[in-house]
Structure 1
Amino acid sequence: MRRILAVSAAALSLAALSSPVLAQTADRGARWMERIAVISGDGMEGREVGTPGYDRAAAYVVSEMEALGLKPAGVDGTWYQPVRFIEQTLDAGATSLSLTTGSATRTLALPTDAVVWPDGPLPATIDAELVFVGYGLHMPSSGYSDLDGVDLTGKIAVFVNGAPTGMPSLSLTHARAQRTANLKARGVVGAITLVPPQNNPAFWGNVTDAAAEPGFFAEDPSAAPFLEVMLHPDQVAGLFGGAPKSLEQITADARAGARQTSFALDARLGGRFAATGTSVISPNVVGLLPGSDPDLADEYVVMTSHLDGYGVGEPVDGDGIYNGALDNASGVAAQLDIAEQLIAARPRRSVLFVIVTGEEKGLLGSKAFVANPTVPRESIVGNLNYDMALPIIPLTGVNVLGATESTFGDHAKAVSEAMGLPLTPDPFPAENRFIRSDQYSFIAAGIPAVAFKFGFAANTPEAATIRTFNETHYHKPSDEVDTTPLRVADEIRLHDFITALALRVANADERPSWYPDSIFGK
C-alpha cells in the first residue's frame, strides 16, 4: 500500500495561520486528517463488518469520543450496541428449481437458467403461483399502485424494472426502496425480477458473479422466509403464454414509462433450497452529549456516519486493502470534530453520535439502531447523516438531501443565509442518493433526517471532478487519504454548517416535523 501520513497544520495554507479563527480551522483540519489517516490506515484492513480490523477502528473511535468528553450510550453502560448478522452462502448443488408454464414443467439449472439471491432467510421449499405485478410499485400519494386489486397472498410476484413517467422523483425512489416490504405486507412469498432479452453478452455473467457472493442480512428469528430469483432472459418469454399482455408489450411499455397492468400468470415456481449461515457480530458505537435543558434533555438529535468498509478484497494494481478514506473514514472523523464544537455549545437537547456498522451491506447497522435504539425511539427528534461529502471541490454551496421534506429545511435555510452558503439541489437525482445512506433508515421509520454533500450543479467542472473520483476511486483500494488533494478548510466550513444546523434543531422549542406535502409524513 502507498503511504498513509497524518497531515499537519503546516500542510494547510500558511496564510490561514495569520488569523486566530483560521488558525483554529487549520488545527481542526489537521486533526480531521489525522483521524482519517488512522481510521483508513492499513492496520484497519478496510474495516469490513465482523472483522478484527473493524473492531480496531471502533475501539479507536471510542477512545476519541472518550477523550472529547462524550458519555457511553450503547448497551449496558458500554459504548457499543452489538448487532447480529447472518452471512449466508447458497449450496447450489443441493438447491433445485422448476418452472411450470401451462401444463409443461422444466428444471431450471443454476446458475445457467436462474439465480437465487442469498440476501435473506430462504424457504426450505416453495411451490407457488406467479402473478405479474407491473413494476411492483405502491405509490398511493401519487395515485398509482401495481399491488391494489390483485390477490397476492401466497404468490410469487413477477415485476419488470422501470416506472411510469411523471412520478415525483423522491416518491419513486422511496417506492422502489420499499418494494420488497410492500410485497411482503401483501402476503407475497417470493419475487422474480423480469429480465427481457439483453443486447449485452456480458450481462448474465455479471448477474451470476454477483449472486455467487454470500448474502448478508440482520439476524431476526421472526423474519419470514422470502425467495428472490432472477431468470435468464431466455426463460422469461414462456411465462406470458395466454396472458393479457405479451412480454414484448410489457417491455415496450416499460421502456416508454407507460403504466402497467397486473394479472395472474398461468405459471408456478417450485424449488428446494439449501444454504449455510454463519453468525457475525459487529457493533455500532454510541456516544452521548447530554442536553443542558432539563426539560429537553430526554429528547435526542442523532448524528450518524458509517464506519464499515469493503475490507480486503480483489487486488487492484497489487493493492488489496480497500481503505475507504473518503467512504467513510472522512465522515466518522467529521463527526468527532462536530462533537467537539457541540460540546462547547452546550445544546438544550441531548445529542447522540451513532457510528454505525453495516452501511455497505444495506444500511443494516442504522436499521438495527432505529429498530432497537439505545434511547426510547419516540424521544429521537431527527437525524443528521454524514457519508462521503467529497471535499475535493470548492465549497460554494451545500446539498442537504432531505431538506425539501421536513422543517430541517427551514433550519438549513437559516444556516445557509447566516453563513453565505447557498443550498443547492441534488445534481444527480437519478442516482437515488437520498435512500442510499443511513439517513434513510430513520426516514423509513418516520423520523425526519437529512444528509450532506458539497454542493454543485450538473454539467459543471465540479460535477466532472466528482464523476472522475467515483469512477476511479469509489469502492476501490485507491480511496486513500493521500490519493486525492482534499480541500480541508472547506471541509471544516461544512462541519460548521452541520454543527449550526444540529444546534438549531437541538435548541428549538419544536422538534422537526414533516412538511404537509411530504410523502414521508404520511
Structure 2
Amino acid sequence: MQKVNTPTIGRVSKLLLLSVVAYGPVAAQPTATLPRPLRKPMSSISPASFKAHVQYLADDKLRGRQPGTPGYQLAVDYVVAQLQQRGVQPAGENGTFLQTVRLRRAFTESGSSLRLTPAAGPAVSLIYGQDFTFYPNPQQTETTVDAGLVFAGFGISAPELGYDDYAGLDVKGKIVVVTRQEARQFPDAVRLYNTDLLTVLQTARRHGAVGVLLAGVKPTAKPPEPLRGMVSVLGPDGKVAVSRSYVSGELPLAGSISAAALHRLFAGAAQDTGRVLSALRAGRPASVALLPRLQATQRSRHQDVDSYNVVGKIEGTDPQLRNEYVVHTAHLDHLGVGAPIAGDSIYNGAHDNATGVATLLEIGGVYQQLKAKQKPKRSVLITLVTGEELGLLGSAYFARNPTVPRQQLVANVNTDMPTIIAPLLSVVPLGAENSSLAAPVATAAQALGLTVEADPEPAQNRFIRSDQYSFVTQGIPALHIKYGNKTADGRNNLSEQVQKWRAVTYHKPQDDINGEFDFEAGRKYAQLNFLIGYLVANDAKRPTWNPGNFFGERFGK
C-alpha cells in the first residue's frame, strides 16, 4: 500500500487515520474505523438495496439497455426517479437531469473499393473483406482518395521520448500505413496512449496525411472482418464531436489491410516487410516510402438516435469550493439484444454495468443521510453515462462538454463492473498511481479494511478501456476501482476465478441477475467509492498529477 502523506488529504482523512489506530483491525468491526458521523449514513447502503437496483436494471424488459431504445429509456427513467428520491439535484441541461447525446451509427455501403496501381504493371482491385476494410465515415456519405503511400512503423511521433516514426518522412497528401504489432519497447502508459487508434489517426492528420491503413502482421492471420456500425457523437452543429475511429479535417479515409495486402504495398520498396518489422521489434524506427498508389472510394450511410447522460448534483457547502466538482461516473448502457447463446439473446448487463449504476445510486443515498455539517465542501456530480460499450462515447462527450464549467471538474471516480462474485477484500485503483488520488484511495481502503494492490492483469489494458480515460484525456485526474486478488482462504487468486467467470459470462446473455453475485461485496464497494469521493470533496487542495507523470504531462497542461 502506498504511504499516505496526511497533510495533503485534509482533516477528514486525518480523522480516518486516527480512527484506524484507535479502533484496530476492521475485520472484527467493519465500521469501527470510521468517524462516528459517517457510520450511520454509510450503513444506509445494504446488500438488499444494492441488489434491487441490479435486479431492475438487468430485467429482460429493459432489453439490454442499448442506447436509443425504449429499454435504455426505462433505465434513464429509473435512475432519475432514484436520484430524486435521494434528494439529488438535477444538473443536466435546461434544469433537467438529462444531457442529450446524439449518436450516429455509420455503416460502410456496397460500392466501396480500393485499387492498387503499382510502380510497374497493371492496376489491380483489392477485395473488400479479404484484403481490406474501411471504417465507415460518420461525417461524409462518399469520399474518394487518390494518393501515394508511406509506411510509418507504429504511427508514433513522440520525439520528446526519443522515438519518432515520422522523422524525415514526407506524408503530406499521402496515405499512411502503420503496423498493429505491439510496441513492446515502451512503458505501458506510453504504449497504450500512442498506439490507441484515435491517437494514431490524430498523429497522421497532424503530419498532413489524407488516410490511414492499419496493417496486419501475421501472414497466417485471417483477413479482418468488415467493420460495420461504428458509432460517433454529433455536436449541436450536426458535426462529429466525439469518435474513436474518425478525426475531423483532411483525413477522410481510415481502414485496415491484411498481412498479404501489406506485402503487396511493399513491392519495389527500399526495404521489405521482414526487415522493417524486425527493426520495429528491436525498438528502431523503420519508416519507408512505398511506390504504389491507391485509389479509394468509400460509401457510408448513417442512422442517428438520441440517447442521454443522466447528471445529478449534491451541492457543496464551502462558498468557494462548492463551485468545483468531484464526478462519480458509471455507464448505464449495455449491448441490447444480439446473437443468442444457450437460447438467450438479451444481453442484460447485470454485472456490466448495473452494479456500477447501483453503486452511484447508493452513494447518492449516503449523501442524503449526512447532517448539514458533514456535507462535502465541494459539489459532487452523480453521472450515469451512455455509449460506453460503443467506445466511451457518453463520458467523452460529457468530459468535453460538461453541464458545469469544465475547468471546475477536479477529479473523476469511475465505477465499471466491479465483478462482485466473492468477498471484497482488496482493490485495484486503476489510474490512482498517476496522481494525488492515491492518497484518499489508501485512506478509504484502510478505513474499510481493504488492501490496495497493483493490477493483476496489466495485459488487459483496463485503464484506457473505461470511462475514466475520457476524463484523463481532458486533463482531469481519474481512477477506476476494480476487484483485487485477495481471497478469504489465503490463496489470493481471485483473478483466476474472475477469468473463468468472464469466459462464460462477460458480454454474454448469461450476465443476468441469476448469475454469481456477492451483494455484501457490492455494499462494501459502494461504501469505498463514496468515501474516496467524499475525501476528495472535503480536501481544500485540488487533486494534482504526479510530477513527470505521462498522462499529466500529455493532458494536464
- Note if contact 1:86-1:216 (Cα within 8 Å) is conserved in structure 2: yes
Where does residue 498 of structure 2 map in the other structure?
466
C-alpha contact 2:83 2:361 (8 A) present in aligned 1 = yes
- Equivalent in the alignment of 1:124: 143
SS at match of 2:194: helix
Q: In the superposition, relative to structure 1, how do residues 55 and 119 fare at CA in structure 2: closer, same or farther (>3 Å)?
A: farther
Give the superposition deviation at 1:84: 1.0
1:291 lines up with 2:291 in the alignment: no
- What does the per-residue CA deviation read over 1:386-411, in whole Å, with 9 as the maximum and x for residues that have no partner? 00011113322110011110110122
* Residue matched to 1:66: 84
Structure 1 residue identity aligned to 2:255: V
C-alpha separation in 2, matches of 1:27 and 1:448:
27
How far apart are residue 237 of structure 1 and its match?
1.0
AA of the residue aligned to 2:193: H
Query: How many residues end up aligned between the 2 structures?
Result: 498
RMSD: 2.5
Q: Deviation of residue 32 (structure 1)?
A: 0.7
For 1:218 and 1:46, the matched residues in 2 are separated by: 21
> 1:312, 1:320 within 8 Å by CA — same for their partners in 2?
yes
Q: 2:521 aligns with which of 481, 490, 507?
A: 490
Q: Which moved more, 1:173-182 or 1:448-457?
A: 173-182
Distance 1:82 1:161, change over 3 A: same
Is the aligned partner of 1:89 residue 2:121?
Answer: no
TM-score (norm 1): 0.90
Q: 1:40 to 1:288 in 2, by over 3 A?
A: same
Residue 162 of structure 1 aligns to a residue in which SS? coil
In structure 1, give the amino acid aligned to 2:175.
I
Matched, 1:186 2:207: yes
Alignment pair present for 1:339 and 2:353: no
Looking at structure 1, the residues matched to 259 and 56 of structure 2 have their Cα atoms a distance apart, in angstroms, of: 47
Aligned to 1:431: 460
Aligned with 1:293: secondary structure?
A: coil
Q: CA deviation at 1:16?
A: 11
Matched, 1:151 2:177: no
2:301 aligned residue: 276
Matched with 2:271 is 245
Residue 24 of structure 2: aligned partner: none
Contact 1:25–1:489 (Cα < 8 Å) also in 2: no
> How far apart are the structure 1 equivalents of 2:278 and 2:441?
43
Q: Corresponding residue for 1:447?
A: 476
1:268 partner SS: strand
Give, in whole Å, the separation in 2 of the partners of 1:110 and 1:367: 31
Change in Cα spacing, 1:24 to 1:378, as seen in structure 2 (3 Å) is: closer
Superposition map of 1:66-465 within 5 A: 66-92=84-110, 94-104=111-121, 105-118=123-136, 120-121=138-139, 124-140=143-159, 142-177=161-196, 178-200=199-221, 203-204=222-223, 207-208=224-225, 210-211=226-227, 213-220=228-235, 221=239, 223-224=248-249, 226-254=252-280, 256-343=281-368, 344=370, 345-456=374-485, 461-465=493-497
Contact kept in structure 2, 1:120 and 1:217, CA below 8 Å: yes
Instruction: Supply the AA of the counterpart residue of 2:512.
Output: E
1:521 aligns with 2:542: no
Alignment partner of 1:184: what SS?
Answer: helix
Structure 1 position 483, deviation (Å): 1.0
The Cα shift of 1:197 comes to 4.3
Shift of 1:180: 2.1
Pairwise CA distance, 1:438: 0.3
1:265 alignment partner AA: L
8 Å Cα contact 1:439/1:451 also seen in 2: yes
Structure 2 CA distance, aligned partners of 1:479 and 1:393? 16
- Give the stretch that moved more between structures: 365-374 or 271-280: 271-280
Q: 1:188, CA displacement in angstroms?
A: 2.2
Contact 1:328 1:388 in 2 (8 A): yes
CA–CA distance in 2 between the matches of 1:465 and 1:91? 43
Q: What TM-score comes out, normalization by structure 2 length?
A: 0.85
Q: Compared with structure 1, are the counterparts of its residues 283 and 410 closer, same or farther at alpha carbon in structure 2 (3 Å cutoff)? A: same
> Is residue 164–residue 259 contact of structure 1 (8 Å, CA) maintained in 2?
no
Q: Is contact 1:49–1:358 with CA below 8 Å preserved after alignment? A: yes
Spell out, residue by residue over 1:235-255, the C-alpha distance to the aligned partner (whole angstroms, 9 max, x if none).
Answer: 22121123232112233345x
Deviation sequence 1:219-276 (CA, Å, 0-9, x none)? 252633532222233222121123232112233345x453232222112221222221
Residue type matched to 1:175 in 2? N
In 2, Cα distance between the equivalents of 1:294 and 1:179?
43
Deviations 1:400-431, CA, capped at 9 Å, x for gaps: 01111011012222223333322111111111
- Partner deviation per Cα, 1:328-349 (whole Å, 9 max, x = no partner): 0110011111122234241110
**Bigger mean CA deviation after superposition, 32-41 or 150-159:** 150-159
Distance 1:145 1:499 in 2: 43
Unmatched segments (≥5 aa) in structure 2 = 1-27, 241-247
Change (3 A) 1:107 1:250: same
TM-superposed CA distance for 1:124, in Å, is 1.6
Q: What CA distance in whole angstroms lies between the structure 1 residues aligned with 2:51 and 2:105?
A: 33
Structure 1 residue runs without a partner (length 5+): 1-14
| Counterpart secondary structure, 1:398 | strand
- Cα 1:518–1:23 change in 2 (3 A) is closer
Letter in 1 for 2:200: R
Which position in structure 1 is the counterpart of 2:540? Answer: 509
Query: Do the aligned residues in 1 keep the contact of 2:484 with 2:494 (CA within 8 Å)?
Result: no
Q: Distance in 2 between matches of 1:140 and 1:490?
A: 46
CA distance in 2, matches of 1:99, 1:237: 12
Q: Is the 8 A contact 1:26 1:489 kept in 2?
A: no
Alpha carbons of structure 1 residues 312 and 339: separation in structure 2 relative to 1, 3 Å: same
Distance 1:16 1:46, change over 3 A: farther
Which amino acid letter does the alignment assign opposite residue 67 of structure 1? Q
SS at match of 1:464: helix
1:267–1:342 distance in 2 versus 1, CA, 3 Å: farther
Aligned-pair CA distance for 1:290: 0.7
2:29 and 2:333 map into 1 onto residues whose CA distance is 33
**Shift in alpha-carbon separation, 1:23–1:468, aligned structure 2, 3 A:** farther
| 1:314-368 alpha-carbon deviations (Å, 9 max, x no partner) | 1111111000000001100111111222342411100111100000010010111
Q: CA deviation at 1:481?
A: 1.6
Q: 1:62 corresponds to which letter in structure 2?
A: V
In the alignment, the residues of structure 1 paired with residue 284 and residue 138 of structure 2 have an alpha-carbon distance, to the nearest angstrom, of 30
Percent sequence identity is 35
CA contact (8 A) 2:50 2:522 kept: no
Q: How far is 1:140 from its partner?
A: 4.5
Output the CA distance in 2 between the equivalents of 1:64 and 1:295. Answer: 29
Change (3 A) 1:403 1:141: farther
Instruction: Tell me which residue corresponds to 2:21.
Output: none
